[in-house]
Structure 1
Amino acid sequence: MPDEPADPQPPRALALAADFPTPTRDDWRALVAAVLAKSGAGADVDPEAALTSTTYDGIAIKPLYTADDLPAGDAAGLPGRPPFVRGATTADATAAGWDVRTRHAGSAQPDADRTNAAVLNDLETGATSVWLVLGAQGIAVDDLPAVLADVYLDLAPVVLDAGADTVAAASALLALAERRGVAAADLRGSFGADPIGLRARTGADAELGMLRTLAEQGGAAAGMCLATVDGTVYHDAGASDAQEIGIATAVGVAYLRALTEAGLDVDAALAALEFRLAVTAEQFPAIAKLRAARRVWDRVAELCGASAERRGQRQHAVTSAAMLTRRDPWVNLLRTTIGCFAAAVGGADAVTVLPFDHALGAPDDFGRRIARNTQSVLHDESSLARVVDPAGGSWFVESLTDQLAEAAWAVFAGIERAGGALAALDDGTVEGLLADTRAGRDDDIAHRRAPITGVSEFAHVDEAPVERTPWPPAAGGPLPPRRYAEPFEALRDRADAQAERPAVFLATLGPPAVHSARAGFAANLFQAGGLACVTGPVEEFADAGTTVACLCSSDKTYADEAEVAAKALRDAGATQVWLAGKGEYEGVDDTLFAGCDALAVLRRTHDELGVS
C-alpha cells in the first residue's frame, strides 16, 4: 500500500524583510548626514532640518515621516462617514469610480452645432457628464437646445456655468427637459449658481437672490445642485491650497445662509451645493487638499446642525488652468495626468481634465480625446476606481491632510471675522491673502526654485507653434486669473517677434570637460527667454552677430583666465559680459548661477540686445 500522505503542515508565516536588520530613525539620520557632509553642507548640519521645505501655507514638509506623525485620535475616520476625509458620501462606501466630466465653452465665435458634435463625441467615448460654459464668456443660452441635441438628459448629467445668466440657463434646461418628456426629478448635475465667484472673476454684482429663485423654480429637480462653489477662481488668482479651501468654505457658508433663508432646511441646502477645486501636478498636496476640504466642510455642516449622513462634500476636481503653459504645451499632458491621478486618489466625485491646449484657446478634437483617455486609463486600466482612499494610512498624507485642514480653517475663520466671503472680497481681504502667496510663488518661479519644464527649464526655442482659436477676452474683476508661466512666456514672445532671433555668445574657456556643464546651464537659462546661444572660444565672438557674451568654465579656470577673456570680449565689441558661476572679476558685469533670478537676467539681456 502506498504511504499515507503526511498531515499537512500549517503555512509558515511570511516575515517581510526578515533577513534585514530593522532600521531606526537614527540610522537614517546618520546615513543622510554623511551624504550631506560630502556635498559640503557641513558636519554639524541637522539632516532633517536641511531637507525640510515649507509650503505657501507655512506647512513644513519633512523628508521622513513615521507613525509618530499621524494626527491624534481617528481624525480620518472611515470611508463614507464623518468627517469624510476618506471620501465616499454614502455609508456603504463602495468604490464606484468617479464622474468623467468634460468642459465645453465654445470659443471666441462659439458654434452650437460644432459644440454639440463635441459633446456627443465625448459622451460616446468615455465622458459621463458635460460642463457647459454659457453666457457672455461662452455658449449663448438660446443655443442650449442645439448644444444638447440628441443628449439623453435623464442619463447624462449636465452642469451649467452661466454666470449672470444662470437663472435663464436653468429655465432653458428645465424647459428643454419638459419638451423632451424628461421629468425634472430625473435630471442630474448642477445649475451652477456662483454669484460670489462671478464677482471675483468679473466684478459683476453678486446677486445672492438668484439662489432663492433657483430654489423656487428648481424645487422639483432634486437631483440638480443649485450652486457651485468654484474654488478654482481663487486658485487661478494665486491662492495656496489652504487659502483655496478656506475661501471656498466661506463662500459655501454664504450660500448655505442664502438657501436656508429661502426656506430650505440645512440638509437640503447642503445637498444643493457642489464644490469645484483645482488639482495640480504637485501630487501629494493635491490629494491632501481634497481630503482636507471634506474635513473642513464636515465641521461646518456639523456646527450647522446637519444630519451626519448629509455632511459629505460633493467635489468636482479640475486640473489647474494656472499650471498650464502655452509654450511646449505637450508637457501639459504630463501635468494633467498627475492632476487627474491626484483627484482620483483624493476622492473627487467628478473630475475634469483640461485638454493640453486649453491655455492656447478652444481645444481641438485631439486635445479633448487625449483628456478623456487620460481619465479612461486611470479609471479603467489602472483600476483607481476600484479603491476607496488609496492614500489613507500614509503617514505623510494623513499628516499633510491634518495640517492643511487646520490652516484652511484658520483662513475660513479670518474671512468670517471680516464679515463673510462677499465682504472680505469687496474690502480687499481676499486679495491681500492671495497677494502674499503670489509674491512668494512668483519669486520661486523667477529663481527657478519652482521650475516649469519647457518654459523656464529646457525650453525649445525653435518649437513649432500650436495654433488654436482663442477664448473670448476675460472680463476684468478683482481676482483675474494668472498662469504661472506667463512671465517667461512674455519674454519668449518678445524674442520671437524680432526679425532675427537675438543671440548670446557662450565663450568657453578650457577643454569641454571643464566648460560643458556651465555652458549647458547658461544655454538652458538664456533659451528660457527665447534667446539663441552660439558657443565657441573667445576668439570667435566677433563673428557671432551679438553684443552679449557669457563666460563658461570652472572656478579654477576663471581665476586664471576670466579677466583676460572679459577684456578680449570687450575689445571685440561686447557691451555686456555675464559669467556662469559666482565671483567678481574685472570686466564681468554680473553672474548667473543655480538659484539666481533668471527673469532678471533675461530682462537685462533683452534690454541690452534691444528686444522690445
Structure 2
Amino acid sequence: MSAEMPAAPAEVPVPLAEGLESTREAWEKATAAVLRKTRKLAEDAPDSDAWATLTTTTLDGIEVTPLGTPELTSGLPPTGLPGQAPFTRGTEALRENRAWDVRSWFTDPDGQRTADEVVTDLENGVNSLWLTLGTDGVPTDSLAKVLEPVFIDLAPVVVQDLHDPLGAARALVAVIEDKAVQAHHGCNLGVDPVGTAVRARLDLGGGETDLGVAVEAARLALPLGIGAIVVDGTAVHDAGGSDVQELAYLLAAGATYLRVLTEAGLTVDEAAGLLEFRIAATDEQFPTIAKFRAARRTWARVAELSGVAESGRGQRQHGVTSRPMMTSYDPYVNMLRTTVASFAAGVGGAAAVTVLPFDEPLGLPEAFSRRIARNTSGLLIGESHVAKVTDPAGGSHLVEQLTDDLARAAWAGLAELDGSGLEDGGGVLEALDLVAERILATRDARGLLVAKRAMPLTGVSEFPNLHEEQPERRPYPTAPAVFRYAHEFEAMRDDRVATPVFLATMGPIAAHTARATFAANLFAAGGIDTVAAGATSGVDEVLAAYDGAPVVCLTGHDSAYAEWGTDLVAALREAGASYVVVAGKADVGADDSVVAGLDALAFLRRTREELAS
C-alpha cells in the first residue's frame, strides 16, 4: 500500500465569478464590514483578512474556508461520474429509489420488546436493521423470534457481537436458512476482530480479536451472497480519533481483511465484496460530507492496488451519527446534532444511515426517541428531498477541496501505518500502538478546545440549565463504550456543588446583566449555582445582599470596576469572602478572573475546590 495517490495537476487561477457582477473583493468588503461591527476584525485591518478570520482548522490541520471559490478546485484531479471509479461521487450511478437505507439500531435485552420495536420501525419507514447481540444487547437465542416477521430478502439485517462474533454470525445464518429465501445482499454477519482490538487497546471494551474469525465468517457468508465483515471506523471515532485517523484506519483495516481472506483462498474480488464500512457522521456538516466522499476515493485506490476489478472497488458505507458528540444533559439538543449528521452522511453518499436516538447517552431508547430517530431520515428523504439527486454536494468548490484534502491526509496516514508494520504479517494489528498514540494526542487537542469552549457544547459547556430534569431511561445491559466530548463537564454536573457562588452585581441591571449572565452560565457548566445581588448602586447595597458565600464573583461595567470595584473586594473579604473572582480584566484585587477564552474546566475546578474548603 505504499503507492501514492495520483498527484493533483498544477493549480491554475480561475476568476471567482467570471461574467457575473460579484467579485472576490466585493465579498471581502461586505464581510469585513460585518466582522468589524462584531469586533472580530480590527478597524485598520485590510478587508482580505476576512478570510483568515473566518477560516477554521480541523484537528487534522485541514483548513475549512468560509467560501468555496473556483481557485480551490482548479487544480484538483477529476472526480469521475457517480458509480464510476474513483467513486468519489458515489458507489452507484443511481441509488435505489434515490435514497439511503434508513437503518435502525436495536440493543434491548428484552427479546419481545425488541421484536415489537422491529415491527414498528419497519412499518414506519425503516428499511434495514442493525442488531447488537449477546451480553451487550439482544440475546442471541432471541434473534429468530425478533426476525420472524422480517422479509429478509427485502430488509438487510446486520448483526454485531464483540464477544462472540461467530455466535451472532451463525445465528443470522440459521435464520436465513430457515426462511429459505435469498437474503438481501446488504445483510452482513458483522464480524470485526480488528475493530474489537482497537477498542480493547483504548480501554473501550474487549472481545474476540482473532483474525481467523473473519475467515470463518467469510465461509459462512459466501454461499448466501451476503456480507461477512463490517470494517468499523467508529472504533476509532468513539475512542476520540479525528476524521483523518478514522479514514486511515478504515483503509488499513480493510487492506488487512483483504490480505487475510485472500491468504485463506478467496479471490480478491470475493474478499472485497464481503466488506461493509461503518463511518461516523458528526454535526460538522462539510467535513462529514467530505469524509464519506474521501473514504470512497481512497478505498477505490486501495482496491485498485490490490487487484480488485473496477466494478468491485466501490465502498459500501453505513453512516452512524456520532456517539461522542452526544450529551446526557439537555439531551433534546441531540436531535439537532443528529439531524445535521444524518444530512451530511446522506449527502456524502452513505448507502445506509443510522440516526441514534437522542436519549442514547442516558440508556435504552423509548418509543418517542426511536420515532424521532427514524423520522429524521424520513423527513430528509421524503420532505426535504435531499436524496432526489446523486451526489448533491458534487461541484461545490468547498466540498471538493475538503474531499481532496481529507483523501490525501488519509493516504499519508495509511503510509504512516505501513511504516509501523502494516505489511509485516499482522496487518493493522501490528500498528495498534501507533493508532492509539495518535488518537490519544487528538483527545488532548480536542479536550483543550472543549475546555476553552472554542468547541462549544450546547446545553453543557454553553447555555446549561443547572436545574433541568433529565429523562429517565432503562439501563443498557452494557453501556456502549465511548469517549464523549462533554464527559468532563458532565462529571461536574453529576456532582453538583451545594454552596452557590454569590454574584456581586454592580450597578443597574442594564450595566451588569451581560457579564452576570456570562458568569452564571459558566458556573452552571461546572455544576455550581449562583445567587445574584440584583440592581445595586454601591458597596453598601451589595453587602446588604451578600449571603456569606465563600466565593464571590464581581459582575459589572468597567466604569463601575474603576470607581468602586477595589473597595467592594476589600469589603467582601472583610464580610467573609475567601475567594473573589471578577468578570473581566479589571485590576480590583481579585483572586481570579472570568474572561472569554479561558480554560473553563481549570477555572471551574479551582472554584469547586474553594467552595469545598
TM-score normalised by length of structure 2: 0.90
Query: Which residue is 2:464 aligned to?
Result: 459
What are the within-5 Å matches in structure 2 for residues 577-588 of structure 1? Answer: 577-586=580-589, 588=590
Q: Does residue 535 of structure 1 match 2:540? A: no
> Which AA in structure 1 matches 2:490?
E
Q: 2:352 aligns with which of 350, 369, 374?
A: 350
> Which AA in structure 2 matches 1:143?
S
Q: Distance in 2 between matches of 1:94 and 1:130?
A: 17
- With over 3 angstroms needed to count, the CA separation of the structure-2 counterparts of 1:357 and 1:37, relative to structure 1, is closer
Query: Alignment length, in residue pairs?
Result: 578
Query: Which residue is 1:7 aligned to?
Result: none
Q: 2:510 aligns with which of 503, 510, 513?
A: 513
> For structure 1, which segment, 339-348 or 547-556, has the greater mean C-alpha deviation from structure 2 after superposition?
547-556
Deviation string 1:75-107 (CA, Å, 9 cap, x unpaired) is 3211111111111x234567621111000111x
- With over 3 angstroms needed to count, the CA separation of the structure-2 counterparts of 1:405 and 1:187, relative to structure 1, is closer
C-alpha contact 2:164 2:207 (8 A) present in aligned 1: no
Q: Distance in 2 between matches of 1:426 and 1:520?
A: 48
SS of residue in 2 equivalent to 1:363: coil
Q: Distance in 2 between matches of 1:226 and 1:494?
A: 44
SS of residue in 2 equivalent to 1:461: coil
Cα displacement (A) at 1:74: 4.0
- With over 3 angstroms needed to count, the CA separation of the structure-2 counterparts of 1:474 and 1:513, relative to structure 1, is closer
> For structure 1, which segment, 370-379 or 56-65, has the greater mean C-alpha deviation from structure 2 after superposition?
56-65
Q: Distance in 2 between matches of 1:446 and 1:257?
A: 42
Q: 2:334 aligns with which of 332, 335, 360?
A: 332
SS of residue in 1 equivalent to 2:163: helix
> Which AA in structure 2 matches 1:306?
V
Q: Does residue 249 of structure 1 match 2:248? A: no
Q: Distance in 2 between matches of 1:489 and 1:155?
A: 42
> For structure 1, which segment, 556-565 or 442-451, has the greater mean C-alpha deviation from structure 2 after superposition?
556-565
Cα displacement (A) at 1:29: 3.0
SS of residue in 2 equivalent to 1:345: helix
> Which AA in structure 2 matches 1:114?
R
Deviation string 1:314-346 (CA, Å, 9 cap, x unpaired) is 000000011111001011011111111111111
C-alpha contact 1:319 1:336 (8 A) present in aligned 2: yes
Query: Which residue is 2:420 aligned to?
Result: 418
What are the within-5 Å matches in structure 2 for residues 214-363 of structure 1? Answer: 214-222=217-225, 224-363=226-365
Query: Which residue is 2:455 aligned to?
Result: 450
Query: Which residue is 2:188 aligned to?
Result: 190
> Which AA in structure 2 matches 1:601?
F
Query: Which residue is 2:176 aligned to?
Result: 177
> For structure 1, which segment, 272-281 or 44-53, has the greater mean C-alpha deviation from structure 2 after superposition?
44-53
Q: Distance in 2 between matches of 1:178 and 1:424?
A: 34
Q: Distance in 1 between matches of 2:440 and 2:84?
A: 37
Give structure 2 stretches of 5+ with no counterpart: 1-16, 200-204
Query: Which residue is 1:143 aligned to?
Result: 142
SS of residue in 2 equivalent to 1:510: coil
Q: Distance in 2 between matches of 1:92 and 1:360?
A: 38
Q: Does residue 161 of structure 1 match 2:160? A: yes
Q: 1:406 aligns with which of 381, 386, 408?
A: 408
C-alpha contact 1:212 1:258 (8 A) present in aligned 2: yes
Q: Distance in 1 between matches of 2:515 and 2:96?
A: 55
Q: Distance in 1 between matches of 2:162 and 2:601?
A: 37
- With over 3 angstroms needed to count, the CA separation of the structure-2 counterparts of 1:272 and 1:565, relative to structure 1, is same
Query: Which residue is 1:49 aligned to?
Result: 52
C-alpha contact 1:98 1:349 (8 A) present in aligned 2: yes
SS of residue in 2 equivalent to 1:175: helix
Q: Distance in 2 between matches of 1:298 and 1:554?
A: 60
> Which AA in structure 1 matches 2:166?
V
> Which AA in structure 2 matches 1:194?
D
What are the within-5 Å matches in structure 2 for residues 31-50 of structure 1? Answer: 31-34=30-33, 36=35, 39=39, 41=42, 43-44=44-45, 46-50=49-53
C-alpha contact 2:294 2:407 (8 A) present in aligned 1: yes
> Which AA in structure 2 matches 1:214?
A
C-alpha contact 1:215 1:262 (8 A) present in aligned 2: no
Cα displacement (A) at 1:203: 3.8
Q: Distance in 2 between matches of 1:573 and 1:422?
A: 64
Q: Does residue 76 of structure 1 match 2:79? A: yes
- With over 3 angstroms needed to count, the CA separation of the structure-2 counterparts of 1:396 and 1:603, relative to structure 1, is same
Cα displacement (A) at 1:27: 3.0
Deviation string 1:27-47 (CA, Å, 9 cap, x unpaired) is 333444455556362524533
Cα displacement (A) at 1:422: 5.3
Cα displacement (A) at 1:60: 1.5
C-alpha contact 2:499 2:528 (8 A) present in aligned 1: yes
Query: Which residue is 1:22 aligned to?
Result: 21
Query: Which residue is 1:8 aligned to?
Result: none
Q: Distance in 1 between matches of 2:228 and 2:143?
A: 18
C-alpha contact 2:281 2:344 (8 A) present in aligned 1: yes
Q: Distance in 2 between matches of 1:513 and 1:91?
A: 60
Cα displacement (A) at 1:251: 0.6
> For structure 1, which segment, 348-357 or 75-84, has the greater mean C-alpha deviation from structure 2 after superposition?
75-84
TM-score normalised by length of structure 1: 0.90
Q: Does residue 123 of structure 1 match 2:126? A: no
> For structure 1, which segment, 516-525 or 502-511, has the greater mean C-alpha deviation from structure 2 after superposition?
502-511
Q: Distance in 2 between matches of 1:360 and 1:545?
A: 37
> Which AA in structure 2 matches 1:444?
L
Q: Distance in 2 between matches of 1:178 and 1:546?
A: 70
- With over 3 angstroms needed to count, the CA separation of the structure-2 counterparts of 1:553 and 1:543, relative to structure 1, is closer
- With over 3 angstroms needed to count, the CA separation of the structure-2 counterparts of 1:413 and 1:233, relative to structure 1, is same
Q: Distance in 2 between matches of 1:423 and 1:148?
A: 35
SS of residue in 2 equivalent to 1:163: coil
SS of residue in 1 equivalent to 2:335: helix
Give structure 1 stretches of 5+ with no counterpart: 1-17
C-alpha contact 2:76 2:404 (8 A) present in aligned 1: no
Q: Report the RMSD for the aligned CA atoms in angstroms.
A: 2.1
C-alpha contact 2:232 2:279 (8 A) present in aligned 1: yes
Query: Which residue is 2:492 aligned to?
Result: 491
Query: Which residue is 1:13 aligned to?
Result: none
What percent identity do the matched residue pairs reach? 49
Q: Distance in 1 between matches of 2:560 and 2:118?
A: 63
Deviation string 1:285-340 (CA, Å, 9 cap, x unpaired) is 11111011111101111111222121110000000011111001011011111111
C-alpha contact 1:166 1:193 (8 A) present in aligned 2: yes
C-alpha contact 1:83 1:294 (8 A) present in aligned 2: yes
